[in-house]
Every structure is written in structure tokens, then in C-alpha cells.
Amino acid sequence: MGSRQFDDFLYQRYLTRAKQLLAEFNRKMSVLGTRESPFCKEGCAHCCNHIFFVSSAEIDIIAAQLLQDEMLLARFIERAAQRERQLMNHAELLNACEDPGEAGSLAAQNFMRLKIPCALLDNDRCQIYEIRPMTCASFVSIVPPRICASDPKGSMSAAMNQLLAETRQALRKLSKSIGGAHSDRLDISRQVLKRLAEIGRIPASP
């Protein structure tokens, strides 16, 4: 799917369906999350300092959304480039975050304490909230914001887990239907930036 252009009809149809699925997931997850946490509130964005995995379908959806709004795109590129400069000093930690086990969780906690937020965050607001990645919407804090800022603890109910598994499966199927490889990759900002470069909308190394 990497070389497929955004003006391709089938690709557009895939994007529309994938976006609907993700938006539906976010609506349902918000309802379930509100039941689980008295702490997660609009305008609180400590979790946006996390480093999250994101699927290829979600990257496509976010990139397409940014391409529809020049100002949003420009601000994202600016923040993402600045973030990349900050990350240059933490390459080792970033590599450690790729570990799927305990070592990766520990590294991710340390990453969060660096306070290098996602480039899609502006004034403590997610700029793509309705179509934010599933990992973002699924992070539901069970500790107050003051603690969440440095020692986050999340929880997921059985219903949340089921919704996540079902939507993942549906997105995977959708990706496959257009010949795309469905994979999860680390770091939302970096992956969206890469996708924009891949389709030639920004220089390869901003």
C-alpha cells in the first residue's frame, strides 16, 4: 500500500470506511472509558506524553485528515520536526521502547517522563480527537492527573478489550482488502510524518 496514492478511488473508499470504523470505535470507547475512570477529562493530556504503537490503517487515516487542512498539516509538520530534533538525544531509549516485554514497558515509562508530547497535541488538545488512534482512546487512567503525569496507571474493562479486539480485526481485514500489510509501529507522530513523506507531500527528511 506504500506507493498507493491518495487520489486512487479504491484507496479513498478504504480510507472512508477505515475512518468510519475508527470514529465509531472512539465514540464507543469514550462512553466505556467514562464509566471506568473519574479522572480522564477533556483538556487533560498527560497521556499524550506517552509513546504509543499505531496501526498502518490509523496512520493512513490521520495522514489523510491532515492533508485536508493546510493549516493543521503545517502545524503538525512544524511540531513533528521539532519533536524529531528532541528525540535525537534519546535514540537508545526509543529503541528500548520497541521491546514488546517488560523492558519495553519500563522504557516507555521513562520516555513519558521526558515530556515530549505527541505532535498532534496543540494547547493540550488532540487535533484529530475523533479519529485518534485506538491506543490513545483506550488509555483510561485509574489515578488522579497529578499522579498520572509521572506514574500512570491505566485499566481496561472486558467490554473495552472486546471493542478493541473487534475493531483491530475489522481494520486488519480492511487493510488486507486493498493489499495492504497491517502492522503496528511505534510512535504516532513519527509514523504519520513518515507516511506524509512516503506519499511525497513533504520532503523525506523534514
Binding site for ligand SF4 (CB under 6 A): 48, 118, 120-121, 126, 132-133, 136, 188
d(CA 21, CA 183): 17
Q: CA-CA distances (angstroms) from residue 162 to 125, 156, 165?
A: 27, 10, 5
> What is the phi/psi pair of residue 121, to 5°?
-95, 130
Please say which residue, 83 or 182, places its beta carbon nearer to ligand SF4: 83
Least separation in angstroms between residue 135's CB and ligand SF4 is 8
d(CA 140, CA 48): 12
8 A C-beta contact, residue 114 and residue 87: no
Least separation in angstroms between residue 125's CB and ligand SF4 is 8
Please say which residue, 42 or 102, places its beta carbon nearer to ligand SF4: 42
Please say which residue, 149 or 178, places its beta carbon nearer to ligand SF4: 149
8 A C-beta contact, residue 36 and residue 155: yes
Please say which residue, 133 or 152, places its beta carbon nearer to ligand SF4: 133
